[in-house]
Structure 1
Amino acid sequence: MEQLINDFSPGLFAMQTIIMLVLIFLMVKFAWKPIMNSIEDREKGIKDALDAAENARKEMQNLQADNDKLLKEARAEREAMLKEAREIKEKMISDAKEQAQVEGDKMIKQAQAAIESEKKAAMADIKSQVATLSVDIAEKVIKEELANKDKQLKLVENMLGDIKLN
């Protein structure tokens, strides 16, 4: 350190100070503004990139929310369609059952009417046969009764007796 103080020259110091001041002046005059402009441009570019990234993040959130909303709507619509299809199926089944019931009732009524008609026809036929048989039996009985004269007289007397009693 002592050597430094011994070698100190005030003229050299003044000259170096003047060169340093000129160099600083030239730097401020010609280099400082472009350096500061490029730093400011870089700062602005970084800020714009951060803003763009933030906007993209917000847009992604909006798109995600829209996608979720659309997905929920699609699910709700699907559920509504499935419910409607189930209702249509159940209605078709109930309509088919009802129609089958109506057709069954109609067929039963037709069968009952046919049975009743057959029953009436059979009853009429039986009555006719019974009447025919009764007439045949009566004819045979009367022939037998009327074949003998004594029996004829007795029958007439019995009939006359019955008429008087009534």
Structure 2
Amino acid sequence: MNITHPESLIFWSLIVFVILFVLLRKYAWKPILGAVKGREESINSALASAEEAKKEMQNLKADNEKLLKEARAEREVILKEAREVKEKMIADAKEQAQVEADKMIKQAQAAIESEKQTALAELKDQVASLSVEIAEKVVRTELSDKDKQLTLVENMLGEVTTLNN
């Protein structure tokens, strides 16, 4: 056998290839296919995990949105209640201030009325005192003379009889 001939080279190359193919099939093919299959399974598993994680993230995002909406709604309720409490406090304060103002006005009116009555009583006392002094002076002047006394008595009797009729 001559190895230098091209046909024999093809022949031996073919035999070596077949032997290599048989050896590879017997010893290497199954581990390589197993590794490829294992890799395929791990890739599929990773894809399934990624899909599951994506779904879980969407669920978490939806839950977060829901919680955020609930928190906003709760905040609005709290703010509304705070506004209502503030308005009620302001209204109560205004009402209390009005009641106090009315009370103070009534007290001031009562004090003014009391001072007015006191002033009128003092004025009446002064007028009465002055009237008595004036009458006393007039009567002294009028009664100092006997003729004037008689005229005065007659005038008074005339007035009294006119009033009685």
In which range does the TM-score fall when normalised by the shorter chain?
A: 0.7 to 0.9
* Greater relative CO, 1 or 2 (CA 8 Å, sep 6+): 1
* Aligned match of 2:29: 32
What count of residue pairs does the alignment treat as equivalent?
157
- Structure 2 letter corresponding to 1:52: S
* Aligned match of 2:105: 108
- Structure 2 letter corresponding to 1:61: Q
Take 1:140 and 1:67, find their aligned partners in 2: how far apart are those partners? 107
Take 2:14 and 2:87, find their aligned partners in 1: how far apart are those partners? 103
Task: Name structure 1 gaps, 5 residues minimum.
Answer: 1-6
Match runs of 1:103-142 below 5 Å? 103-142=100-139
Q: CA deviation at 1:42?
A: 1.4
Q: TM-score, normalised by structure 1?
A: 0.80
Q: State the SS of the aligned residue for 1:32.
A: helix
Take 2:13 and 2:121, find their aligned partners in 1: how far apart are those partners? 154
Taking a change above 3 Å as real, the CA distance of residues 8 and 136 of structure 1, as seen in their structure-2 partners, is: closer
1:89-125 Cα offsets, whole Å, 9 max, x none, are 2222212211111111111111000000000101111
- Structure 1 letter corresponding to 2:35: S
Taking a change above 3 Å as real, the CA distance of residues 139 and 16 of structure 1, as seen in their structure-2 partners, is: closer
- Structure 1 letter corresponding to 2:135: A
* Corresponding position: 1:145 with 2:123: no
Q: CA deviation at 1:16?
A: 9.3
Q: CA deviation at 1:58?
A: 0.8
Task: Name structure 2 gaps, 5 residues minimum.
Answer: 1-5
Take 2:160 and 2:104, find their aligned partners in 1: how far apart are those partners? 55
